[in-house]
């Protein structure tokens, strides 16, 4: 059983965040790079249901392999802490990998098309900024999700097989129900 040591992670906006949280479950998400259209699509689903996730006793913490400066252009409106990890220290610690299959797996292609269309529309309307052409850490990162108890025990983990292979909000809430909620 994996146990996460207590730490305070620097975030893009706001005070450092404790992982694990002493009173809440933590959904620690590893995403790809700042402005990633596929990541943005997923994070918007988390934002839409953030109140529901919080009510279940879960604190969202999202990690990107980008610098804080690069992330500031893309994540300042998110209602949860975003952690920059351009050297991928946390990625290595948690065993989160990169692979060409992140984008080459045919299961992700429909999502890539949907994400690029959504992002293009948002760019044209001036609501988003384009991602870097050469993102820190590259374009082939794989996502990962961890549900961490207040004592640091990893209750559940998912290592993505392609760029859009992560827990949905419903899957996260089912895991919380199965393992017991944090204390909101």
> Any residues with CB less than 8 A from the CB of 166 and at least 6 apart, and which?
29, 42, 143, 144, 145, 158, 160
pLDDT of residue 137: 64
- The Cα–Cα gap between 78 and 46 comes to 10
pLDDT tens for 135-167 read: 666 667 789 999 999 999 999 999 999 888 999
Residue 182 or 3, more confident: 3
Distance of CA 152 to the CA centre of its chain: 18
Give CA angle at 86 (76, 119), nearest 5°: 45
pLDDT of residue 33: 78
Task: Say whether pTM exceeds 0.95.
Answer: no
Question: Encoding tokens for residue 138?
Answer: 């590259």
pLDDT tens for 84-98 read: 999 999 999 999 987
> Any residues with CB less than 8 A from the CB of 55 and at least 6 apart, and which?
184
pLDDT of residue 108: 72
DSSP string, 9-38: E--SSSS-EEES-SSSEEEEEE--STT-HH
- The ranges assigned to domains in the chain are 7-179
Residue 57 predicted with pLDDT over 70: yes
pLDDT of residue 49: 97
Residue 114 predicted with pLDDT over 80: no
| Window from 67-71, 112-116, 153-157, 171-175 with minimum mean pLDDT | 112-116
Is domain 7-179 in CATH 3.40.30.10, yes or no?
yes
Helix, strand, coil tally for the chain in percent (to 5): 35, 20, 45
Residue 121 predicted with pLDDT over 70: no
């Amino acid at each position: 059983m994996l146990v996460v040591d207590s730490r305070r992670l620097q975030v893009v906006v706001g005070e450092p965040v404790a992982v694990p949280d002493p009173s809440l479950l933590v959904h620690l998400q590893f995403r790809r790079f700042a402005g990633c259209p596929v990541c943005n699509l997923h994070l918007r689903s988390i934002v839409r249901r953030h109140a529901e996730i919080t009510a279940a006793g879960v604190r969202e913490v999202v990690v990107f392999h980008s610098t804080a400066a690069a992330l500031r252009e893309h994540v300042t409106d998110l209602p949860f802490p975003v952690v920059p990890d351009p050297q991928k220290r946390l990625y290595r610690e948690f065993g989160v990998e990169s692979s060409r299959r992140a984008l080459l797996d045919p299961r992700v292609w429909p999502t890539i098309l949907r994400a690029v269309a959504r992002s293009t529309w948002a760019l044209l309307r001036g609501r988003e900024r384009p991602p870097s052409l050469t993102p820190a850490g590259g374009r082939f990162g794989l996502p990962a999700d961890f549900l961490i108890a207040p004592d640091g025990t990893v209750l559940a983990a998912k290592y993505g097989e392609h760029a859009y292979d992560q827990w949905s909000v419903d899957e996260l809430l089912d895991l919380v129900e199965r393992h017991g909620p944090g204390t909101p």
